[in-house]
């Protein structure tokens, strides 16, 4: 599976868990959503470094294309 999908699922799961706990504790849903977003950001920043690094590497390779140019591309460049 692609790294950004895994990272996004982690982030959504953290948000959903925090939101559910906060609503069950008795917060209003809109306040719980704001607090859950802050909690999700903090937890992801502290504990999901490996997944975040994999996403960054994937974006870098897509942007810079680490593949060797084919003979057709070399011919076009000449």
pLDDT (0 to 100) of residue 1: 84
| Average pLDDT rounded to a whole number, residues 64-69 | 66
pLDDT (0 to 100) of residue 70: 61
Mean pLDDT of the chain: 89
| Average pLDDT rounded to a whole number, residues 60-77 | 72
Contacts 24+ apart (CB under 8 A), 50-59: 51/3, 51/6, 51/7, 51/10, 52/7, 54/3, 54/6, 54/7, 55/3, 55/4, 55/7, 57/3, 58/2, 58/3, 58/4, 59/4
- pLDDT tens sequence across 20-46: 999 999 999 999 999 999 999 999 999
- pLDDT tens sequence across 42-66: 999 999 999 999 999 999 988 887 6
């Amino acid at each position: 599976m692609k790294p950004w999908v895994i990272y996004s699922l982690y982030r959504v799961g953290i948000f959903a868990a925090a939101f559910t706990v906060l609503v069950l504790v008795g917060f209003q849903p809109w306040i719980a959503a704001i607090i859950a977003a802050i909690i999700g950001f903090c937890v992801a920043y502290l504990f999901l470094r490996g997944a975040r690094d994999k996403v960054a590497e994937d974006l870098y390779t897509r942007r810079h294309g680490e593949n060797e140019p084919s003979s057709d591309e070399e011919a076009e460049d000449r």
